[in-house]
Amino acid sequence: MDSESEGECRNTDDRPFVLVLDPDPRVGEALVLALRRQAQVEWVGTGMAGLRIAAESPVNLVIAETHLPDMSARDFLHLLRVLQPRLPVALLGAATRPEEWGRDVADAHFPKPFDLKQFLVWIADCLAHRSAG
């Protein structure tokens, strides 16, 4: 995980900033490697760490595992939407039923294992749309 000091702005260049939340280091590190050419990426393992970063830094996209160790994906999405209501979110993991979550629903859901190429295309489209808007 990243060792930057707490409270420091993480978005340090003109590329979009993607926040990855996944308790599995293999998944987190793989996503950082897959995304680092098109964006700044920070990986954390808990919902609280992700919320802290979202409160402190200009995040452009959040990618979150549906099973976080410290809170449910629904709780994470609700709290994230309070901080940044229009921030796009992709959920990774078991096919729960996010459509039942009302306004807290994620923008996309990718059941694991997911097609990395399709996932990266969605991210590129999302970030391009975000920068054009």
pLDDT per residue of the chain (133 residues) written in tens, 0 to 9? 443 444 444 556 789 999 999 999 999 999 999 999 999 999 999 999 999 999 999 999 999 999 999 998 889 999 999 999 989 999 998 755 655 555 557 888 888 888 889 999 999 999 988 665 4
Task: Name residue 64's beta-bridge partners.
Answer: 21, 91
Q: What is the predicted pLDDT for the residue at 48? A: 98
Q: What is the predicted pLDDT for the residue at 130? A: 66
Q: What is the predicted pLDDT for the residue at 74? A: 87
Domains and CATH numbers, the chain: 17-132 (3.40.50.2300)
DSSP 8-20: -----SSS-EEEE
Q: What pTM did the predictor assign?
A: 0.84
Q: What is the predicted pLDDT for the residue at 58? A: 92
Structure tokens at 124: 């590129």
Q: Where are the alpha helices (DSSP H) in 18-115?
A: 25-35, 47-56, 73-83
Q: What is the predicted pLDDT for the residue at 49? A: 98
